[in-house]
Amino acid sequence: MRFLLTDEQREFGRSLDALLTAADTPAVLRAWAAGDHGPGRALWGRLADAGVFALAVPEAYGGVGPLPVEAAVACVELGRHAVPGPVAETLAAGVLLAGAGGPVAEEWLPGIASGAAVVSLTLEGYGPYAPDADAADAVFTVSGDELRLAPDPGEPSASADPARRLFRPEPGGAPVAKGPAIRAAARAAGDWAAFATAALALGCGEELLRATVAYVKQRTQFGVPVGSFQAVKHRLADTLLGLEFARPLLYGAAVELASEVSRPGAGAGSAGGSPGAGAGSAEGSPGAGAAVAAAKVTAGEAGYAAARTALQLHGAIGYTEELDLAWWLRRARPLRDAWGTPSACRARVLAG
């Protein structure tokens, strides 16, 4: 099968690139890492106006989704510009709450779609940490067949990326939805979180490669650009190949997720059994899960390899925080490991 993005999808990506280029995201990142979320929330609102967060929210709740291919296009651009905030978690929460249905979906999904609500979450099997919980309006946790709203984001934990702070939510909180549908919705949300993180990692790797190619064209040694050395060319070519091999796997996973949405009877339904709740949500499946895992491990490893290449070819300047590139360098490894480590993803691919 030959797969190409449509003209509209490509234009969507270009419009996000233009928006984020004008937004000065390094300054937004520095403010976010320092605890000033104002510039980041303002940028979040502009992204919501462009329709980014509505892509995971069904039309019944004010969204336009779920649209996995468009979500991949958006997240690659957000990763390329290192947009701060729980992007993957908010998109996954849209899928989770749509599957839960009922009052909790009616309360939170319109806000997610409009950008008024920033959401983080934790799911069983993916670790205890909720990224950027201090900046979120809500932190959801899933335990078994219960969906809870965490009473407090908890204390921050050490993070390799200072603009992606990790919190362990306080236990407890009254259940906001329960029932078998929650398990199915959590599986789908886990797939979406891994899928969005893969796209963010791919975009991060692409920006690291772009910046490194530009740098080796300018830096000279023995009177010539270091980019003319064969060893440097080979390292950059290997990095490019890794990223380009990850891209079709990412969009292949998007097609799998889209097919889950469109199949008859898709949707996790309502945890409370109310008719029509959860319409348009995707229920995770082994096929989609394996495709997402393949995309996640490949994109994550490619993004991290791009960071290693960028650090080596930039030399000592690559270690300095004054260099904007440092924010992408520090983000690549956390994205590789978030929502499915490489070993966990490989195991899922082998399990089929």
pLDDT in tens, 127-179: 999 999 999 999 999 999 999 999 999 889 989 999 999 999 988 888 999 99
pLDDT at 322: 86
pLDDT at 219: 92
CA angle 302, 74, 26 (to 5 degrees): 75
Distances in Å between the Cα of 109 and the Cα atoms of 60, 123, 280, 300 are 9, 18, 13, 29
Helix axes 286-314, 180-218, angle to 10 degrees: 30
d(CA 309, CA 30): 24
pLDDT at 171: 83
Asked whether residue 317 carries a pLDDT value surpassing 60, the answer given is yes
Asked whether residue 315 carries a pLDDT value surpassing 90, the answer given is no
Among residues 206, 181, 183, 45, the alpha carbon closest in space to that of 114 is found at: 45
Look at 314 and 352; give whichever has higher pLDDT: 314
268 pLDDT tier (thresholds 50, 70, 90): very low
d(CA 340, CA 59): 29
Count of CB atoms within 10 A of residue 46's CB?
15
Average pLDDT over residues 207-217: 97
* Spatial contact of 232 and 334, defined as CB atoms under 8 Å apart: no
**What amino acid is encoded at 142 in this protein?**
V
